[in-house]
């Protein structure tokens, strides 16, 4: 009995619905806009998480220097600490560039506007540390390169470096060289 009712309903439904496929037109109009918004929101979220992780990793690495865990920091030591703390950053050692600047607080000279970034085609470069003395004010600046998640849509296309396929995130922190015994 139930199977007869179902068959009858299917036959009537097939004859009474001349608008088959009408739901696909609104979907085709709305889906690209929704997909574009979703892709851009995702790219902005990934960008924000990466920036927070770079800032956090730099703060923790500078804290290690401040409390004496790294008494005389080298480029390799600081790079290792930064990459250790920023676990979600892929290819950290390959794409990072550090800059350490000694600043005289009594004769302040503002450093360049932004930290220099490395080019992926060049070899890694060290930063000059020189001789650090007690109570020197140091500024540590970091630049890390990232590939956008969706580099051909919206935000991902706009944030890349001109002529490149990646973008740079920068962070800066400062500390004073403490006199350790």
pLDDT in tens, 96-110: 888 888 887 788 777
Q: Is residue 6 part of a domain?
A: no
* 8: in domain: no
The verdict on residue 115 lying in a domain is yes
Our count of domains for the chain comes to 1
Contact 111, 141 (CB under 8 A): yes
- Tracing tokens 């009995």 back to the chain, one arrives at 1
Q: 23 or 55: which carries more pLDDT confidence?
A: 55
For 69-83, what is the mean pLDDT? Answer: 82
Tens of pLDDT, residues 147-159: 777 766 666 666 6
Q: According to the model, what pLDDT value does residue 60 have?
A: 92
**Does 144 score more than 80 pLDDT?**
yes
| 156 found inside a domain | yes
Q: Are the CB atoms for 140 and 84 separated by under 8 Å?
A: no
User: Is the separation of the CB atoms in 115 and 141 below 8 Å?
Assistant: yes
pLDDT exceeds 70 at position 77:
yes
The count of C-alpha atoms lying within 13 angstroms of the C-alpha of 95, restricted to the half-sphere facing its C-beta, is: 16
Whole domain around residue 134: which residue ranges?
A: 28-176
Return the higher-pLDDT residue of 148 and 56: 56
Whether residue 87 is contained in a domain is answered as: yes
Phi, psi of 140 (to 5 degrees): -110, 120
For residue 20, tell me if it sits in a domain. Answer: no
Residue 63 in domain: yes
Q: Which of 61-65, 76-80, 126-130, 162-166 has the lowest mean pLDDT?
A: 126-130
181 domain residue, yes or no: no
């Amino acid at each position: 009995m139930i199977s007869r009712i179902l068959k009858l309903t299917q036959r009537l439904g097939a004859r009474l619905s001349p608008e088959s496929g009408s739901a696909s037109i609104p979907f085709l109009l709305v889906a690209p806009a929704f997909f574009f918004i979703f892709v851009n929101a995702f790219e902005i979220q990934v960008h924000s998480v990466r920036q927070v992780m770079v800032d956090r990793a730099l703060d923790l690495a500078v804290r290690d220097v401040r409390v004496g865990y790294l008494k005389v920091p080298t480029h390799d030591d600081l790079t290792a600490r930064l990459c250790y703390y920023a676990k979600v950053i892929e290819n950290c050692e390959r794409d990072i560039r550090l800059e350490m600047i000694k600043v005289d607080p009594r004769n302040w000279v503002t450093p360049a506007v932004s930290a220099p970034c490395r080019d992926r085609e060049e070899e890694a470069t060290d930063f000059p540390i020189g001789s650090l003395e007690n109570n020197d004010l140091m500024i540590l600046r970091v630049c890390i390169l990232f590939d956008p998640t969706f580099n051909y849509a919206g935000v991902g296309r706009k944030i890349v470096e001109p002529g490149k396929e990646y973008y740079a995130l920068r962070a800066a922190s400062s500390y004073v060289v403490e006199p350790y015994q």
